[in-house]
Amino acid sequence: MISEIVDTGRLKFFCSANPKLGGRIKALAEKNRVTSFKQKIERNRRAAAPVLFRNYGRDVFQAIRRATASIGEWERGDVMSLMFIAVAENRLNLADADDRVEEFVKVHRRRPRVYGESSLDKPVSFDSSATLLDMLSTESGSWDVNMMASTGRRK
């Protein structure tokens, strides 16, 4: 397996023969070496931030719960989950949780919905003319068995 792109001896000779270009090559090679080393360290780093392991994670839970207390309960759990992930990925410091909670609310609201954006007039399945509005307009809020005829249309 070849470990070098250019023979080291030839590169040194070229750099000494062309000092201006050689200096530039050496500077870029050093920058590349440092970047490569940082990437290697980052790959070997733990995924979870050490703050999660302190006090069995209670500190993180308390900080995020306190930061999300003013959010409606229908979206609080999702925002808290996004914040836990950000702490684990070292993108959020606990001290900044109160200040950055709105950022996570915006991210949550922008995320695509599980079932997609759907119209109430869209057929529920490809072989039926029943719509979501038909389903919701029944008194029980569930499918009415007598609603469909054998052709798939409402009675």
What pLDDT was estimated at residue 68? 93
18 and 24 in contact (C-beta within 8 Å)?
no
60 and 87 in contact (C-beta within 8 Å)?
yes
What pLDDT was estimated at residue 113? 58
Q: Taking the model in full, what pTM does it have? A: 0.45
- Which of 69-73, 140-144, 145-149 has the least mean pLDDT? 145-149
Structure confidence by residue, pLDDT tens digits, 14-52: 889 999 999 999 899 889 888 988 887 776 665 555 666
What pLDDT was estimated at residue 108? 85
Structure confidence by residue, pLDDT tens digits, 71-109: 888 889 989 999 988 888 778 888 888 999 999 988 887
Q: Which is more confident, 137 or 96?
A: 96
Give all strands (DSSP E) within 26-146, no chain letters: none
What pLDDT was estimated at residue 153? 45
Q: Which two tokens stand for residue 38?
A: 């940082």
Domain map of the chain by residue range?
A: 8-44, 50-110, 117-155
Vertex 39: Cα angle to 37 and 44 (nearest 5): 100
What pLDDT was estimated at residue 49? 59
71 and 105 in contact (C-beta within 8 Å)?
yes
What pLDDT was estimated at residue 42? 73
What pLDDT was estimated at residue 90? 79
